[in-house]
């Protein structure tokens, strides 16, 4: 009988890129019943410290991360854009 994939184990590891001061979260998810990995959808393959990408087989998502306060958060970016639009 085919697995319905009802329970999952998600693993997140954090990679620190030496000499760049950058960090990435690497996420993978497998079904705990059958062990099949879940493929991430809608991400480009490659490496982007300022965005989200996926590895070539699609089973590991990589998302650029930063410590709090070192980059504008989404709300601050929105505020910045609205000010620019009004000027
Ligand atoms: Zn399964």
- pLDDT attached to residue 72: 83
| H or E segment and range at residue 85 | helix 74-86
Query: Could you give the number of structural domains in the chain?
Result: 1
- The pLDDT, as a whole number, for residue 87 is 43
Supply angle C-alpha 49, 8, 6, rounded to 5. Answer: 135
Whether residue 64 lies inside any domain: the answer is yes
Asked if residue 3 belongs to a domain, the reply is: no
Instruction: Examine residue 45 and state whether it is found in any structural domain, yes or no.
Output: yes
Kindly report, residue by residue over 16-31, the tens digit of the pLDDT: 988 888 999 999 999 9
Q: Which residues of the chain have pLDDT under 70?
A: 81-87
Q: How many CB atoms lie within 10 A of CB 82?
A: 10
Q: Please give the distance, rounded to the nearest whole angstrom, from the Cα atom of residue 16 to the centre of ligand 1.
A: 32
Whether 59 is in a domain gets the answer yes
Structural domain containing residue 75: 8-86
Query: 2 in a domain, yes or no?
Result: no
Asked if residue 55 is part of any domain, the answer here is yes
Q: How far is the CA of 2 from the centre of ligand 1 (A)?
A: 8
Provide the 3-class DSSP secondary structure of residue 8.
Answer: strand
Answer yes or no: is 16 within a domain.
Answer: yes
Q: What is the pLDDT of residue 82?
A: 54
Rounded distance from Cα 39 to ligand 1 centre (Å): 13
Q: Distance, CA 38 to ligand 1 centroid (Å)?
A: 9
Question: What tokens were used for 64?
Answer: 């650029």
Contact status, residue 62 vs residue 50, Cβ threshold 8 Å: no
Specify the pLDDT at position 79: 83
CA–centroid distance, residue 28 to ligand 1 (Å): 14
What is the enclosing helix (H) or strand (E) of 52? strand 52-54
| Nearest CA-CA partner of 5 in 39, 36, 50, 51 | 36
1, part of any domain = no
């Amino acid at each position: 009988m085919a697995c319905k994939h009802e329970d999952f184990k998600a693993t997140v590891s954090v990679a620190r890129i030496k000499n760049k001061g950058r960090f990435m979260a690497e996420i993978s998810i497998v079904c705990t019943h059958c062990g099949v990995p879940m493929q991430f959808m809608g991400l480009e393959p490659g490496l982007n410290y300022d965005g989200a990408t996926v590895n070539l087989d699609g089973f590991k998502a990589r998302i650029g991360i930063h410590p709090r306060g070192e980059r504008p958060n989404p709300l601050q970016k929105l505020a910045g854009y609205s000010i620019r639009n009004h000027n």
